[in-house]
Amino acid sequence: MWRERITSWCSIAAYAPGCSTDVLDAAVRELGVRLPPELRDLLTESDGVLGEYEAGLVWPISRIVEDNQSFRANADFRDLYMPFGDLLFFADAGNGDQFAFPIHGGAIRRPDIFAWNHESDSRTWVAPSLERYLDWWLSGKLTL
């Protein structure tokens, strides 16, 4: 389902074998937050999606865990940026900016996607769902 949708927007996308539910459940335990249903479904179909120039349209679950833990634990970032505990990063724009789901009260309660700007530390709403993020990002409707 996800491969067909993404391929309709970007014929250059590259896919990986999907994640097992055990791997995703372990990631949830490490992250301390349940993955949104859309992201979980996509990752079971393909553990990450690369776009043109190998851009990380959706990171593999290992990178999602690693980058989120790293951003939350980095002592230098505490002086530079607002806390990252309210974001679940899952993709990047290729320029240092990243895409994330918002975390409220320890859970992802809405499917919206935000862009984090690495220079200004702004967190801006960019799409109402993972599907729209992919559609708009790949069609050029979403730009940063």
Digit-coded pLDDT (tens) for 16-71: 999 999 999 999 999 999 999 999 999 999 999 998 777 789 999 999 999 999 99
pLDDT at 78 over 90: no
Residue 113 lies in a domain: yes
**Per-chain mean pLDDT for the chain:** 94
According to DSSP, the residues that pair with 104 across neighbouring strands are 107
**Six token digits for residue 124:** 């801006």
Coil/strand/helix, residue 107: strand
Residue 36 lies in a domain: yes
Domain range for 8 is 2-139
Q: What is the mean pLDDT of residues 94-102?
A: 95
Alpha-carbon 96 to chain mean position: 13
**Six token digits for residue 45:** 């179909």
**CATH number, domain with residue 48:** 3.40.1580.10
Please give the pLDDT value at position 54. 74
Q: What is the mean pLDDT of residues 102-112?
A: 95
Residue 61 lies in a domain: yes
Please give the pLDDT value at position 137. 94
Residue 144 lies in a domain: no
Q: What letters, b where the CB count within 10 A reaches 16 and e where it falls short, cover 39-67?
A: bbebbbbbbbbbbeeebbbbbbbebbbeb
pTM for this predicted structure: 0.94
pLDDT at 12 over 90: no
Q: What is the mean pLDDT of residues 94-121?
A: 95
**Which H or E element spans position 101?**
strand 98-102
Residue 95 lies in a domain: yes
**Number of structural domains the chain divides into:** 1
The answer to whether 128 and 144 are in contact (CB under 8 A) is no
**Six token digits for residue 55:** 């851009």
Burial class (CB in 10 A: 0-12, 13-18, 19+), 126: buried
User: How many helices (H) and strands (E) in the chain?
Assistant: 6, 7
Please give the pLDDT value at position 52. 79
